[in-house]
Amino acid sequence: MNKLKNYAKGSWQEGEGTGTALVNAITGEQFSEATSKGLDFKGMLHYARTTAGPVLRKMTFHDRALMLKALALYLTEKKPLFYTLSAATGATKADSWIDIDGGIGNLFVYASKGRRELPNETFYVDGKAERISKNGTFIGHHICVPMEGVAIHINAFNFPVWGMLEKIAVNLLAGMPAIVKPATVTSYLTELVVEEIIKSNILPVGSLQLICGSAGDLLDHVTEQDVVTFTGSASTGKMLKTSKEIIENSVRFNMEADSLNCSILGPESNPDTEEFKLFIKEVSREITVKAGQKCTAIRRVIVPESLTEIVIKSISDRLKTTILGNPAVEGVRMGPLASLEQVKDVRAKVMELRKSCEIVFGNYDSFEVMGADRNKGAFLPSLLLYCKDPFNNKEPHQVEAFGPVSTVMSYKTTDEAIQLAKMGRGSLVGSVFTSDDEFAKDIVLGSACMHGRMMVVNAACAAESTGHGSPMPHLIHGGPGRAGGGEEMGGIRGVFHYMQRTAIQGHPTTITKITDVYQAGGFQKEDLVHPFRKYFEELEIGETLVTHKRTVTETDIVNFANISGDNFYAHMDVTSLEGSIFTSRVAHGYFILSAAAGLFVDPKKGPILANYGLDECRFLKPVYVGATIGVRLTCKEKIAKEKREGETPQGVVKWLVDVYDETGETVALATILTLVARKEE
């Protein structure tokens, strides 16, 4: 029997002895087996730490982001291979799209965010400096640096591709290598994707290793620099989270557990409203997509009491049209579960639910399957249950049947809807379908404490809604309580899970040197050459131009008002100043900023290519007629941009603009950005 291979310490290795049988979810036929017996788990960790770790940490965020982009483009070309094998998991084409394209999409998103939102540095400067001394000679700041361990990802069976790619996208961008242990039952698809990743030679050696089978004693060798993530059942997650080395070494452990997510229909809805129709469509889809095997699937359907019967009928009518069977057969819209073991588990959980719920649609003992043998494949029909008294029965809020199963329950008031939403005691996602924004606000604010994500849908956003069950890389994925208490993704937030945030203290000049970002109060170097005459590489952080000065006149204020159209009373009507914060006619703030530009800009053509924008601006002191202003222009930060074909090599330079008056006090502070040419290589 063919065995899956593990990728460990730079080579493909078969596990020892007989492994776990891997079967086609549609036909029930065994085609492979998986085992990790004999792997040197301790050696795998050491290999990742000593080979890929140092290489990844030397790369900048932009280097790592470009690496992710290259990998995403490479895997996109290989999608036909992945789709073919994905069918063995029972996935329809739409199911495979969520898993495969969704996973690759995560790589693309983090490749983009890494270049747009992170510096071209090996570390990240977090937030703003804190002035913690009277004279400003001792300040504090925060930086984030990559942890020097390994990201260990223990993933669930339902998303063998997405589950891996959404996690490694983040740890690789942070500068950490990974060991991936997919759920054994669908690990054959993960193995194929990893095989292609290794073939691509895009990642540094040791960046990714794969375990197909048990994780063995892997967690016995983790250190304080490692990070463990887990996706799966809450019971398994708790067991791993409380293992000896995890606790003793305070290892970061991120858990995402299956949860009893809910969807709520607004009380104003009726069968003629668009929101009602959208709700029925979404609930039905979440029951059948991936055969309900999604950690984000809708398990609890919360509806107004007056609409209970019509909701049950409408969902049932829609489920009747969903044909169960072999996804390769035309017309089939729902495939089997991942395994026969999964079918047994779901049936057992439905039996538990029936203690307080009745089945109002579906029969797991009598159903038809198209294009396959229902006795050999892992088939289970869609099941809709109804709980008459959800406030006094625990089962629908505690028991999850991880398949095509949902339970309808009713509420009378908004407070009751909120109570039901929270009775799941921690969910990955809750959704609200309503045209009443006041109701939506009450539900979100009333139950957000028990949800990791909340989605509100109405007719205005439905066409572009990403759906109840679709975690997006831009937003956090995770939830409190039963959902595991963790967070994944969330845009750049997720990157910091694999980095150490460290407070740093010292003189502004020292902190400037450490962070490569100018800190107020730090040493300012002046040069005879105007900074706008210098190329990107020639500019130094802290380099400062002190300009000549100009006196603000009443004519300046009047002319600026005429040009801008800004005739605010404080600038133009001295008779209205009584009771205001101004003592006389005051110059426009934007005039001060414009006048500052007139003082520091060198008009000649040179390395400065364009004004790129304004990051922040504060007007700190009124500037009255007769005041004299000058500018200190300081090179604050430099960000090299990716070189594009046909484009002048360039970088972004951030400048601190400090405008001061004749008393020496700062009247305005701004950070402006310019595009500056780099020297041709």
Q: Which DSSP string corresponds to 156-197?
A: -SS-TTHHHHHHHHHHHHHT--EEEE--GGGHHHHHHHHHHH
Give the per-residue pLDDT at 281. 94
For the chain, the structural domain boundaries read 5-122+145-253, 261-469, 524-677
Fold assignment, 261-469: Aldehyde Dehydrogenase; Chain A, domain 2 (3.40.309)
Query: For residue 31, what pLDDT is reported?
Result: 84
CA angle 234–262–332, rounded 5-degree value: 90
Cβ–Cβ < 8 Å for 346, 287: no
pLDDT at 649: 87
Helix (H, G, I), strand (E, B) or coil at 253: strand
Cα 228 from Cα 240, distance rounded (Å): 9
**Catalytic residue from among 166, 191, 256, 543:** 256
Respond yes or no: is residue 487 known to be catalytic: no
AA letter at 441: K
pLDDT of residue 1: 61
Separation of alpha carbons 411 and 303, rounded Å: 6
Residue carrying structure tokens 């997510």: 261
User: What per-residue confidence (pLDDT) applies to 139?
Assistant: 92
CATH architecture of 524-677: Roll (3.10)
Q: Which residues of 528-541 are buried (b: 16+ CB within 10 A; e: fewer)?
A: eeebbebbbeebeb
pLDDT of residue 573: 86
Q: CB of 248 within 8 A of CB of 241?
A: no
- Alpha-helical (H) ranges within 483-588 are 508-515, 554-564, 569-572
Q: How far apart are CA 140 and CA 520, in angstroms?
A: 12
Element (H, E) at 628: strand 628-640
* pLDDT < 70 regions, the chain: 1, 680-681
| Predicted local confidence at residue 136, as pLDDT | 85
Q: What is the pLDDT of residue 475?
A: 84
Q: What is the distance between the alpha carbons of residues 582 and 649, in angstroms, rounded to a whole number? A: 47
Select from 635, 668, 626, 434 the least CA-distant residue to 526. Answer: 635
d(CA 177, CA 157): 22
**Amino acid, res. 104:** I
Of 657, 608, 624, 636, nearest to 553 by C-alpha is 624
Single out the catalytic residue among 144, 212, 295, 635: 295
Element at 437 (helix H, strand E): helix 437-447
By C-alpha distance, which of 246, 231, 218, 234 is closest to 182? Answer: 231
The Cα–Cα gap between 56 and 170 comes to 13
Is 546 within 8 Å of 630 (Cβ atoms)?
A: yes
Characterize the bridge pairing of strands 383-386 and 405-411: parallel
Q: Is there a catalytic annotation at residue 617?
A: no
338 touches 89 (CB < 8 A): yes
Structure tokens at 166: 């959404």
Asked whether the whole model's pTM tops 0.85, one would answer yes
Nearest Cα residue to 678 out of 613, 609, 603, 615: 609
Q: Is 475 helix (H, G, I), strand (E, B) or coil?
A: coil
Residue with tokens 């759906």, as numbered in its chain: 467
Output DSSP code: residue 147: -
Interatomic CA distance for residues 59 and 551, integer angstroms: 49
Per-residue pLDDT at 198: 96
- Res 366: pLDDT: 87
- CB–CB of 347/340 below 8 Å? no
Q: Which residues contact 559 (CB under 8 A, 6 or more apart)?
A: none
Q: 524: closest CA among 547, 543, 499, 552?
A: 543
Residue 553 has what pLDDT?
Answer: 94
Task: Fill in the DSSP letter of residue 639.
Answer: E
Tell the residue number behind the tokens 């924008």, with chain if given: 613
Q: Between helices 589-600 and 554-564, what is the axis angle to 10°? A: 100
Query: What is the third-level CATH fold of 5-122+145-253?
Result: Aldehyde Dehydrogenase; Chain A, domain 1 (3.40.605)
Rg over CA atoms, the chain: 30
